[in-house]
Amino acid sequence: MSLPRAASRPVATPQKGGLRAGGLRVDGVPERGKAKAMIHCFPIRIYYEDTDLAGVVYYANYLRFIERARTEWARENGVDQVRMREEEGLVLAVRRVEADYLRPARFDDLVEVRTEVETASVARLVLRQEVWRESEQLFAARVTLAAMDGVGRARRLPARLLGRQV
C-alpha cells in the first residue's frame, strides 16, 4: 500500500468544547464569521527503525516527523527554503517546541502529521502540529519559528510566507 500524498484540506478533529483553532467545528462547519481552517496533512509510515525496544516510536522521532511535515508545508506555501537561504540569506529556525506525547505509535502504523498556523507576526510564526492515527491523536506540538540570517540574527519573516498560510 502506498502512502497518500501530502495535501492541505479542512480537517475536523475533536477538541474540548467541540471547536478547533481557526473556527472549524468538529462537524466541519465553520464557526460564525470565520473561514474553514486549512490544515496541511503529511502521511508517514512507521518503520522498525523508528521504534524502541518496547516496539513504540522513540520519542525524539516525533520531532523528525513534524520537521518533515513543516518542510512540505513550507514548500506547499511557495517557500523554497534552499533558494531563500541562497538568495536572501534567511533560514527558518525553530525557536521553541512544546510537545505532548499522548499515545504510542507502533511499527507499520500509517500516521498523519497535521500542520496549521496558530499565529503569525512579522517576527515569528507559531504552528500547531499533531500526529494522528486515523481518529486517534498521538502527539501534539506547538512550534515557534523565526527567520534568521547567516550569523544567527533574527530577521523579518518573508512576506510571501505570511501572506499564504495553509
Q: Which residues are known catalytic residues?
A: 52
Residue 58 three-state SS: coil
- Do residues 122 and 156 touch, judged by C-beta distance below 8 A? yes
Measured torsion, CA atoms of residues 73, 75, 79, 80, in degrees rounded to the nearest 10: 140
124 within 8 A of 145, measured Cβ to Cβ: yes
Those residues whose C-beta lies under 8 Å from the C-beta of residue 84, and which sit 6 or more positions away, are 90, 91, 92, 158
Measured CA to CA, the distance from residue 138 to residue 140 in angstroms comes to 7
